[in-house]
Amino acid sequence: MPIAKYPRLVDPLWYEWDRKAQKCGLRHTVYAVNGDRYIGEWLDNLKHGKGMQIWKRRGAIYSGDWKFGMRDGYGTYSLPDPITKEYKKVYSGWWKNDKKCGYGLKFYSDLEYYEGEWEAGQRSGWGRMYYKDGAVYEGQWLEDKAAIHKLLTPCGLQWDSSEVSGLWFADQAN
């Protein structure tokens, strides 16, 4: 004897629960299991648009553009100072595929910072590195190392990389 199966008139409850759990559009705070939180826009359950990610373990904050779950566009990354607990900007600039890419400004300390081009998370292209003693390295960078540049000292002296003994490569004169 065959058993007739009639189509359901109402979807099971889990369909509705799953639909409500999908993240798409603007959401308030969404918490991860590890305590991280994200406030911002979503697309197909991925961070997409403007948003702010706060990592619980390090206390780091990224505020800026997201694309398909990765930092992509203009954004700022900050870390709390271990002593004062105030947030200090570490990097402000362009991102692509969750890495620094394009023009950006990175602070190594209060008095030392780099401004210039980035590629795949490393200094690459034209840029300037400012040091706390007042010296400035200016020129081309390749894979996070000074390639061809000029040193400007606080007292006004200038050394071109060619005057030292040829070109600079991997932070050393050749």
| HEC string for the chain | CCCCCCCCCCCCHHHHHHHHHCCCEEEEEEECCCCCEEEEEEECCEEEEEEEEECCCCCCEEEEEEECCEEEEEEEEEEECCCCCCEEEEEEEEEECCEEEEEEEEECCCCCEEEEEEECCEEEEEEEEECCCCCEEEEEEECCEEEEEEEECCCCCEEEHHHHHCCEECCEEC
| Segment among 50-59, 125-134, 139-148 with least mean pLDDT | 139-148
Sheet holding 145-152, edge to edge: 25-31, 37-43, 46-54, 61-67, 70-80, 87-96, 99-107, 113-119, 122-130, 136-142, 145-152, 158-160
Residue with the bigger pLDDT between 156 and 126: it is: 126
State the pLDDT at residue 157: 54
| pLDDT at position 106 over 50 | yes
Q: Nearest Cα to 114, choosing from 136, 95, 96? A: 136
pLDDT band at 104 (very low <50, low <70, confident <90, very high): very high
State the pLDDT at residue 110: 87
pLDDT in tens, 118-130: 999 999 999 999 9
Distance (Å, rounded) from C-alpha 161 to C-alpha 147?
9
pLDDT in tens, 7-58: 767 778 877 877 777 788 887 788 999 999 999 999 988 999 999 999 999 9
Distance (Å, rounded) from C-alpha 147 to C-alpha 144?
9
Task: Look at the pTM and tell me if it is higher than 0.85.
Answer: no
Distance (Å, rounded) from C-alpha 174 to C-alpha 88?
37
Q: How open is the CA angle 19-20-21, to the nearest 5 degrees?
A: 90
State the pLDDT at residue 28: 79
Express as a percent the part of the chain with pLDDT over 70: 83
| pLDDT at position 172 over 50 | no
Q: Nearest Cα to 53, choosing from 34, 39, 42? A: 39
State the pLDDT at residue 13: 82
